[in-house]
Amino acid sequence: MASHRRPKQPGRARVTVLTATAAAAVALSAQGAHADPQASKQDVKSKVDKLYEEAEQATEKYNGAKEKQDKLDKQVSDLQDKVARGQEELNKLRNSLGSMATAQYRTGSIDPSLQLLLSSDPDSYLERASTLDQLTTKQAETLRQIAGKQRTLKQERQEAADKLADLESTRKALGDKKKEIQGKLSDAQELLNTLSAKEKAEVTGEDKAQEGKDAADRANRSGGSRTDPGGSGKPVPESQRAGGALGAAQGKIGSPYVWGATGPNSFDCSGLTSWAYSQAGVTLPRMSQDQANAGTRIYDQGSLKPGDLVIFYGDLHHVGLYAGNGQVLHAPKPGANVRYEAMGNMPFQFGVRVG
């Protein structure tokens, strides 16, 4: 007769292990299904912020190269004009001496000195000092001046050509860097597109723009500053030029940040500040690093006044206008508009009081 023994029950310890394992599996499954959205949003923000900072650094370098290019273009143009004038003077001299040579040819004898002088290289003539006594003093002096001018202009033209070649190489490198960063920005935009409109505004900081404006307005109202005599109610800082610059920038709130733009419809960071001060009759350098040396530096944030320049980051690649109450009015970064923002959001270096 077959035995009908009951199957052996698992021990209590084994049951406990199995139960704990199952619970852990359920917990991990739940964690995977409900990942922390805040962590994801912070990851997107950190990546986008890094890309924006790299983009702005490249923008300021590009601005510097472009400014240098414009200066060199003018220098080369001036040199070319000088060369053309010098060549015209030399041609006139040769033509006048050519008439003398023609007359002598008709008589059957051309002075050797004229043969040398009519050569394409005036230096070779001057090296033959034995023939100088056959020229008039005026002719000899004129030839010396033209030869000297040609040598100088040749050197300057070569120097400018070398500089342009270096600059073209630099601009190509910057252009390559720009393309690289634009690619990264495109990737960042794809990440931003995975967020809701509210989350995207939080990540880009656009949700804080109105808060910054309200804070700046409160500071200006409570600061006891004089108001615009035109009746707009806007404060007039101690420096009329700074006040004019801040007022001009306030009129551009909402304008987009664009690489290398200097207004009036779009700006990069130093493009906004240079444009704003130009509206107040003040010419600022193009780059933020140069604007950092455009006036008296102020290291105490409490001593800043509305309209002062404010410089951020260790390499000084970002600049804005102080708007009061710890707020900066600036063109923040690619993908954002001109807006107010808390200065604490960026590493403040110092302020600059222009003039």
- Euclidean distance between CA atoms 173 and 175, whole angstroms: 5
Kindly name the residue from 4, 34, 317, 318 that is annotated as catalytic: 318
Q: Taking the alpha carbons of 314, 315, 320, 321 in that order, is the dihedral positive or negative?
A: positive
Q: Which amino acid is at 300?
A: D
Q: Which amino acid is at 299?
A: Y
Question: CA neighbours within 13 Å on the CB side: how many for 315?
Answer: 9
Selection from 183, 332, 168 nearest residue 253 by Cα = 332
330 is catalytic: yes
41: alpha, beta or left? (left if phi > 0; alpha if psi -120 to 50): alpha
Angle between helices 37-107 and 197-204 (to 10 degrees): 60
Spatial contact of 274 and 288, defined as CB atoms under 8 Å apart = no
- Euclidean distance between CA atoms 186 and 183, whole angstroms: 5
Spatial contact of 259 and 65, defined as CB atoms under 8 Å apart = no
4 is catalytic: no
Cα separation values, 235 from 56, 277, 280, 354, Å = 31, 17, 15, 18
34 is catalytic: no
* Burial category of 236 from C-beta neighbours within 10 Å (exposed 0-12, middle 13-18, buried 19 and up): buried
Kindly name the residue from 4, 34, 317, 330 that is annotated as catalytic: 330
- Residues annotated as catalytic are 269, 318, 330
